[in-house]
Amino acid sequence: MMGDAVNTIEWTSKSLEQTLALGALIAQQVRAGDVIALNGHLGAGKTQFVRGLAAGLGVDQRLVSSPTFVLMSEYGTGNVDLPAVVHIDAYRLKGLSDLESMGWSPELLAGSATVIEWADRIAEELPDDHLRVELQHAPGDERQVTITAAGESWTERLPLMRAALERLGKAHVCPTCGAEVLETAESFPFCSKRCRLVDLNKWFRGDYRIGTELNNVEDVNDLEELQ
Ligand SMILES: [Zn+2]
């Protein structure tokens, strides 16, 4: 169908890092008042996507956790034009008004970027103009991503996103923040020394996933500096 091609991007994320990078890439198109409707089963990478999105908007991504027991979180961006990212878990919500006691209001929505997990559960309450992102399990670490622009403003932004995603599919991305990294970079495979240190810190805390080894004294000194 022609309409699908215009309003939809199908993309494959090859890793958690690419899902993070996808979030950061979409963040480049986000304006105050935008709503991103996120869908996907447990473990599909929704939290990783939100981390990338939030980091792309200036939030310290380490603040972003799965909202499983928190219906709504608000993260400051330090940017006056878009001061907050609001992260909502709609799994147990009947509607957005359920969040009013937690400080949610239409005004908050207007001044923030809002990302709603399990958004299909409150589909009737989503604004006409929103971006729908669906993450689906695929073999291994791959995820099938379907991005759908609902409404005119997102449809207009889709071609830029499509071009950036094509580049991302080919690029190496920083395992910490999802930024694109050239293989010639001194900090490769990380985008910066800072991201390499954040990664080492994870290794020490035991939630390390990627196969880097601590192999020299300089790394240990750097780590002590970070803590
Ligand atoms: Zn990085």
**What does the pLDDT profile of the chain (227 residues) look like in tens digits?**
444 567 999 999 988 889 999 999 999 999 999 999 999 998 899 999 999 999 999 998 788 876 566 789 999 999 999 999 999 999 988 888 888 888 888 888 888 999 999 999 999 999 999 999 999 999 888 999 999 999 999 999 999 999 989 888 788 888 888 888 888 888 888 988 888 888 887 777 765 554 444 444 455 555 555 54
The DSSP secondary structure of 2-65, one letter per residue, reads: HHHHHHEEEEEE-SHHHHHHHHHHHHTT--TT-EEEEE--TTSSHHHHHHHHHHHTT--GGG--
Distance separating alpha carbons of residues 99 and 199, to the nearest angstrom: 35
Q: Where are the alpha helices (DSSP H) in the chain?
A: 2-7, 16-27, 46-56, 106-111, 152-170, 193-205, 217-226
| CA 177 to ligand 1 center in whole angstroms | 4
Question: In 10 A of CB 194, how many CB atoms?
Answer: 14
Tell me 85's DSSP state.
Answer: E
| CA 190 to ligand 1 center in whole angstroms | 5
| CA 193 to ligand 1 center in whole angstroms | 8
Distance separating alpha carbons of residues 75 and 129, to the nearest angstrom: 23
Most distant CA pair in the chain: distance in Å?
A: 58
SS3 133: strand
pLDDT value of position 97:
87
pLDDT value of position 63:
85
Tokens of 77: 């961006």
Contact in structure between 36 and 65 (CB atoms under 8 Å): no
| CA 199 to ligand 1 center in whole angstroms | 9
Distance separating alpha carbons of residues 77 and 38, to the nearest angstrom: 20
Distance separating alpha carbons of residues 142 and 149, to the nearest angstrom: 22
| CA 147 to ligand 1 center in whole angstroms | 24
pLDDT value of position 210:
45
Nearest of 114, 132, 134 to residue 33 by alpha carbon: 114
| CA 194 to ligand 1 center in whole angstroms | 7
Inter-CA distances, 71 with 23, 103, 150, Å: 20, 11, 24
Strand pairing partners for 76?
Answer: 84
